[in-house]
Structure 1
Amino acid sequence: MTHNVLCVCYEFKAKQRWVIGLLFVHYSVLVLIYIYLSMEGIKRYVRGFLNKPPQEERNVIEYEDLGDSYVLPEDYTVEVDQEGYLKSFSLDQVEEYKQFFNRFGFVIIRDCLNVEQCQNTIDDIWNHIEKENWRYHKRQEDTQIIHRDDPKTWEPWTSMAQSGILGGPPVFSRQAILNRSSLNIHQVYANLLGRQDLYINHDRYGLFRPTLLKDENMFPKMTPNHQYIKELENDPNHPNVFERPDWKTLRNVHLDCNPWAYLEEKTDSTRQRILSALQYELKSSDFILENNEIGIKSLDELHIQGLLNLADNLTDDGGFIVVPGFPNHFEEWSKKNGLLKRNNGVKNRFILLHPTSPIQPVRTTARAGSLILWNQKMAHGSLPNHSTRPRIAQFIKVSPAPFFSKDKALLRSNRIKESIDPETLQHLNDTLTDQQKRFIGIQTYQ
């Protein structure tokens, strides 16, 4: 009996020693791993410290938190004509539209595209939608989902539906590029910027679906003057209106730049670092990211964004809005909105104004073929559609050639040519002037 007890005790102690040994090894390994990771962390910190660029000196700005109580100190009422369109100018009213732009921060120029160009672009937009060129990657199934004449197929819609922008990738179709090559667009920008050496960017299309339908099963051909939609509206065989509130885009007012970085930074190194990183790969958002760099206050540069209005656009159709005169008070507004600055920091390039802000925008209603331009310091955005008519647009921006280094301009040019199908590229080379080729970037100024 005693012998058995001694054996059991011996076995228990042996197992106990084995367990203790196993735990010791286990914890030893954990300690070694911890030490290793700690050393790696220290090494990474040291490397980061040694390679970290020196802290840049910044302008010291005193910010306030007026926020929703700040209003523009001047009245910027804009005329509306008898047809419901905002004040606009012809192409030859150069001095008049320059004065208006400097005062209000935006301008509408009529007849930059003709009716045929607008119609061709509307048709191209529907090709872009139906062929799903708005996707970064094609679906595996080779079946068409969206049909332009069947509203039942308009859900689901393209990506970025809530903003009214048709997808993420830039558009390089023949019609989109021909529009960008317009000498009318070039000349208006040249008059406002005071120089001829300009590059136009390669952005996207926009389409707001009509949220009121006269027929749920059929939609008439979209045209610049909405001819067939108007006929359907007056057709006694279609007395009903079907509402699609779920198709409404989001109301927003925003800035496409960071006003606090603009005020605080003493050197242009941030912009140069961002631009130097752009590689313009196929379907890359780099063609759009280049839009949002306005530099710093000491450079005092003018940057102008724009869009081509492709169909008559009245208030209820939804679309572009601006805060007239805002660029004149851009710095003051930025300094009065310290809370917004703390929420966004100095890196965010898309700044949303609070919906309750007393700074109220106006709808930039415009006729088909109009060019709408605005200072990039402008608070702008869009209102949703509430009509039987779509809102249709092409987004653009133009930059002076020195905005890009010689190497970056060449890289950008090569990427643009790679993004255009060979037949279209040949057509552009055969039909465009050298000025137009440089403007769209298939040639460079350097």
Structure 2
Amino acid sequence: MAIANNRLSAEAYEQHFSDIHPPFENREAALVEANRCLFCYDAPCIKSCPTSINVPKFIKQIATDNVKGAAHTIFLSNIMGGGCSKVCPVEKLCEGACVYNLMHETPIHIAKLQRYATDKALEGQWQLFTRKPATGKKVAVIGAGPAGLSCAHVLSREGIDVTIYEKEAKGGGLMTYGIAAYKVTPAYCEAEVDYITSLGGIQILYNQELGRDITLAALQQTYDAVYIGIGVGIARQLEIPGETLAGVTDAIGFIYDIRSKGYPAVPVGDKVAVIGLGMTAIDAATQAKRLGAKEVTIIYRRTQEEMPCTTAELDLAKLDGCQVQWLAAPKEIKGQNGQVSQLLCDVMQLSAPDASGRRSPIPTGNTFTLEVDMVIKAAGQTPFEMLVQQEQLAHRHGRILINEHCATNIPGVFAGGDCVNGGKEVVDAVQAGKDGAAAILKFLSIQ
């Protein structure tokens, strides 16, 4: 067994990481799908979208060949509607709510139609919004992820000049650095960021990190308000023996390397174990397999009924050849000569339901051992607790505390997205950015 990079040919990498949800082949195919829509009154698909995109409206616009109007309808609610059409778990959101499900028929392919319209907008560089005259107000946004970009776009439309401070070399946040490459490419993420900033009035300063290059106190002296959208990205540790052995990595770092360095440069083992079963765990497992791992085993301490990922995501991992070990928890990582060689796991069982109805996994006393040469930890993420303490932000275990107006304990400083909620979907972060912008506009007495 060995951990190695450059395992596959260029053609194999391209095939393994090609678009998993290809677009409609032509206009006619999009029109046929759009005309399946029943254009429901009080449509459940709208209610299930965190950004409340008017789905029946944009689909009817596509059906009547008004693609530009459809793109405007989407972007009015979700300026990252293009990216969300590729990465959203639509099976539990808009498409999961489609009334066709009640008829035991295939739901409308809402995401694919959304992609159809937004792709046209990005390709054609359609300017669908016009900035209002400059107000003279300036706002700093920390983080060029979905929350920060969404907030910036709404503010800029209202005539506010926005400067975004981003710690990475590219914008997009989770979209650019934290999602499987076969769902959305780095090139698309860059194009989406460029499209958002093409409105005008939005400047992004890269390699600028809160707590290292900038502080809230300094920003407040220059700007009329500050919005924090720094996300959540510190990998949770397993706290078991052997965690520092060579060959142990975290899923966030693993996916980051794939996104930033390219497929051939990222090493992967022959036999890989992935700890956890959230979306990030699935992305890590499937990409390890697509990088050339011979065996990938996902370790999850509960059963399929409790898994945090969707069934569609699990099916994807299984189709890629990943195995799942249910009711198992890592106990110790063993190694030889400083390198991972085995993963010792506890066999778990679920306890009786507690007051909330949740059943906790508890060890049975039995164990089993997997022969592995790489362990990828995907057991969740923890907020930037030390950072928010340093910036004197009120928080709960690192999650920034805000009131109903998205305001923090520091006057003029607002926050939203994963740094507040602990980590949700991209579309939730987009809505948080919109909410933050609305709160800032009210604070500045502009609306």
Question: Structure 2 length as normaliser, TM-score?
Answer: 0.21
Greater gyration radius? 1
Higher relative contact order (CA 8 A, sep 6+): 1
Which structure has more helix as a fraction of its residues?
Answer: 1
Which structure has more strand as a fraction of its residues?
Answer: 2
Question: Structure 1 length as normaliser, TM-score?
Answer: 0.21
